[in-house]
Amino acid sequence: MVPELTSADTLSDAERSSAHGLEPFSGCLARHGLELNRGQTNTLQINVGLICNQVCRHCHLEAGPNRSEIMSKKTIEEVVAYAKRASFPVVDITGGAPEMNPHLGYLIENIAPVAPRLMMRANLTALAKENTDYLLRLCMANRVVIAASFPAVSASQTDSQRGKGVLEKSITMLKKLNDLGYGRDGTGLELNLVSNPTGAFLPASQDQAEKRFRRYLETKWGLSFNNLFTFANVPLGRFRTWLADSGNLDSYMKKLSASFNPCAVEGLMCRTLLSVNWEGYLFDCDFNLAMGVYLAGRKRHISEMDDLPEPGTQIPTGNHCYACTAGSGFT
């Protein structure tokens, strides 16, 4: 079951737009003479469930400890079988906290041989708690790229988004990963950081933020990493609720739409990514997954798929897509 949609989410694009005085995203695309169609799919993103040890305020999936949706072993087997049939250059495991799915080890071991590049979104605090040594050994043996959430170098900002004490625990886990060779030159073990803004504002430029994080983490804690990615928060789920409760929703939506960058459309991740939810249903991206809007608007299970999705099919959009096209875009 996808998370229950809030009343704002169930409104049509046009209704929501007029509520915010916004041009609907579909209209904005049309005005620029653009369409959002699928290209050549290269990434399979597997959402292994919505259980998480944290309750981050920007989480578009409303993941948390009280969720029960988790990908079963049977669905994982179906996902692996499909990955073998279709062959994806990149496989990306996400959640919730993927570490909290008891079959994560099985998934990594079985999908790694057919995934030239295998990535896992690690919630650093969950990785520190759940089968840490076993999972880390497995990640190293299978050259799993770890993408760790790390919003800010300031404790007050990180903790306000992700929970009290999260910065300190994340630093401890990053040290452990560095000690194992992750994020260190010449090891082939890639460690990337992902930074989402800690409020209703746009992310810093990726280049500048990466330089600053690198300098700061190295000087203060002797830590290193490979790349830093900055992403805008998507106005869905818990983040949308926070925006509405804090009186920021309208201004945030306006800010996103004012930052619409037509050049970002071509590189949007939904053009090349296929997202599968904990039950095995398919979506164009993790945000449409959160909205319950299926791949090309049609409910399909991974077990029914033989090949990669057809290029050229239209991708369903909503006003949340403005988060992906703001500035340099969400790719």
Partner 1 sequence: MDTYYDPKDLPKFADIGEEAPELAKKFFDYYGAVFAEGELTEREKALIALAVAHAVQCPYCIDAYTQTCLERGASLGEMTEAVHVTTAIRGGASLVHATQMRKIAKKLSM
* Beta-carbon-side half-sphere exposure of residue 202 (alpha carbons within 13 Å): 21
Q: Which of 3, 24, 49, 96 touches ligand SF4 by CB under 6 A?
A: 96
Contacting partner 1 within 254-273 (CB under 8 A): none
Residue nearer to partner 1 on the CB measure, 205 or 246: 205
Residues 104-143 binding ligand SF4 (CB under 6 A) are 123
> Are β-strands 145-149 and 43-47 bridged in parallel, bridged antiparallel, or unpaired?
unpaired
Residue 227: contacted member of ligand SF4, partner 1, none (CB under 5 to 8 Å, by partner type): none
What is the pattern of x (binds ligand SF4, CB under 6 A) and - over residues 139-158? ----------x---------
Nearest-angstrom CA–CA distance, 81 and 64: 29
Is residue 56 a contact point for ligand SF4 (CB under 6 A)? yes
Alpha helices in the chain (DSSP H): 7-10, 13-20, 25-31, 73-86, 104-111, 124-127, 132-141, 155-162, 166-179, 206-221, 237-245, 249-258, 286-291, 322-325
Contact between 95 and ligand SF4 (CB under 6 A)? yes
Q: Does 203 bind ligand SF4 (CB under 6 A)?
A: no
User: What tokens were used for 296?
Assistant: 């090309």
Task: Name the pairing type of β-strands 282-283 and 273-276.
Answer: antiparallel
Cα radius of gyration rounded to whole Å, the chain: 19
* In the complex, minimum distance from the CB of residue 117 to ligand SF4, in angstroms, rounded to a whole number: 21
Q: Which of 7, 68, 156, 219 binds partner 1 (CB under 8 A)?
A: 156
Taking CB within 5 to 8 Å according to partner kind, which of partner 1, ligand SF4, none is near residue 226? Answer: none
H or E element in which residue 145 lies: strand 145-149
Residue 243's nearest CA partner among 201, 190, 213, 278 is: 201
Residues within the interface to partner 1 (CB under 8 A): 152-154, 156-157, 197, 199, 201-205, 208-209, 212
Residues within the interface to ligand SF4 (CB under 6 A): 52, 54-56, 59, 61, 63-64, 95-97, 123, 149
